Amino acid sequence: MSKQKRSFFERLTGTVRMDDEAEVKPVKKSSDESSSWVDEESDKDAELTVDVYQTADMIVVKAMIAGVRPEDLDVSITRDLVTIRGTREEERTANDDDFFVRELYWGSFSRAIQLPEEIDVDEAEAVEKHGLLILKLPKLDKKRQSKLKVKTV
More confident residue, 24 or 8: 8
Cα separation values, 40 from 14, 67, 110, Å? 13, 22, 18
User: Over the stretch 73-102, which tens digit does the pLDDT of each residue have?
Assistant: 999 999 999 999 998 887 778 888 888 887
Is-above-0.85 flag for pTM? no
- CA 122, distance to chain mean position in Å, is 22
Residue 115 has pLDDT above 90, yes or no: yes
Task: State the Cα–Cα distance between residues 118 and 10, nearest whole angstrom.
Answer: 31
User: Over the stretch 68-80, which tens digit does the pLDDT of each residue have?
Assistant: 888 889 999 999 9
Residue 117 has pLDDT above 50, yes or no: yes
DSSP state for residue 63 in the 8-state scheme: E
The average pLDDT across 22-38 equals 45
Domains, in order of start, for the chain: 37-90+103-140 (2.60.40.790)
User: Phi and psi of 122, rounded to 5°?
Assistant: -70, -25
Cα separation values, 11 from 41, 102, 111, 121, Å? 10, 12, 14, 32
Cα separation values, 57 from 98, 115, 123, 127, 139, Å? 51, 14, 12, 18, 6
